[in-house]
Amino acid sequence: EAGVAQSPRYKIIEKRQSVAFWCNPISGHATLYWYQQILGQGPKLLIQFQNNGVVDDSQLPKDRFSAERLKGVDSTLKIQPAKLEDSAVYLCASSLISATGELFFGEGSRLTVL
Amino acid sequence: SQELEQSPQSLIVQEGKNLTINCTSSKTLYGLYWYKQKYGEGLIFLMMLQKGGEEKSHEKITAKLDEKKQQSSLHITASQPSHAGIYLCGADISPGIRKLIWGLGTSLAVNP
């Protein structure tokens, strides 16, 4: 079974530039999560999708971050414009159902903002 | 203050020694997850606990959930260099749609 795929693995940009991350969850997984993990901290939920609907985006900085999950499958997370404090690993995870069960994580996309 | 506290923050042990990592929540637990992370990589699922008193083991790793204390412990027996990494606990604090909060992680080094 293929795991959660994320790209790119690494990205370096200047502040005020834009960047997009892509995630393809495990086939059949209805729930998709985007997390931000800053070095030395635990993951922080940015947005949670159930199929193509948003369940929780309370911690998503909506003035600069956006995410979509078209057709309830893969998802894109965009940052525009980027700030220095956005430097982090962006983790995508998926699970079968939202109430219980294991979350499967991708390898993450490491963003450095200069 | 952190809603999910992990202790210790870091740990260095000699190969073969036992160790315990603790995770304490300030909120009611509806599920507790343990993951392992290596630098620059994603999180690898270890165990999930849901019921008070529940205990699960996988190879040399055992996790327990004390629902009353809102606390979980992860115990590694006879540690090996392959156990090195960052151990993260995640807690589901919602009875409905899953809402996970995460600890800051415990960094484990095992010296051969």
| Record: contact A105-B105, CB cut-off 8 A | no
With contact defined as beta carbons under 8 Å apart, do A98 and B97 qualify?
Answer: yes
- For chain A, which residues lie within 8 Å of any Cβ of chain B, measuring from their own Cβ? 4, 31, 40-45, 50, 55-56, 89, 91, 93, 95, 98-108, 110
The amino acid at A80 = Q
Dist. CA A7–CA A49, nearest whole Å: 19
Nearest-CA distance from B100 to chain A in Å?
8
* B9: amino acid identity, one letter: Q
- Alpha-carbon distances, residue B92 vs A16, A44, A48, B38 (angstroms): 35, 13, 14, 23
d(CA B36, CA B84): 9
B41 to A107: CB separation less than 8 angstroms, yes or no = yes
Question: Over the stretch A5-45, which tens digit does the pLDDT of each residue have?
Answer: 999 999 999 999 999 999 999 998 999 999 999 988 899 99
pLDDT digits (tens, 9 = 90+) for A54-100: 999 999 999 999 999 988 899 999 999 999 999 999 999 999 875 56
Chain A: give the shortest CA distance to residue B106, in Å.
10
The CA distance from B48 to B34, in Å, is 6
DSSP-assigned beta bridge partners for residue A47: A34
Residue A49: is its pLDDT beyond 80? yes
